[in-house]
Chain A
Amino acid sequence: MDDTLHHNSMQERLNLRINHLRALEAEAIHVMREVAAEFERPALLFSGGKDSIVMVRLAEIAFRPARFPFPLVHVDTGHNFPEVLTFRDELAAKLGERLVVASVQEAIDQGLAAEDPGPEPSRNRAQIPTLLHAIETHGFDALFGGARRDEEKARAKERMLSFRDAFGQWDPRNQRPELWSLYNGKIRTGEHIRAFPLSNWTELDVWQYIALEGIDIPSIYFSHEREIVMRRGLICPISDFFPVREGETSERKTVRFRTVGDMTTTAGVESPARTAEDIVAEVAAARTSERGARLDDKTSEAAMEDRKKEGYF
Chain B
Amino acid sequence: MSTQSDLAQSVIDGDWDAAAALAQAAADAVKDPQVIIFDVLQPAMEEVGRRFSEGEFFLPDMLAAGRAMTAALQVLQPLLGNSAVSKLGLVLIGTVEGDVHEIGKSMVSMFLKGSGFEVIDLGVDVHPETFVDAVKTHQPDILGLSALLTTTMPHLGKTIGALQDAGLRTQVKVVIGGAPVTQPYADMIGADGYAADAGAAASLCKRLVSCE
Is this pair of chains taken from one and the same complex? no
Chain A interfacial positions (CB closer than 8 Å to B): none
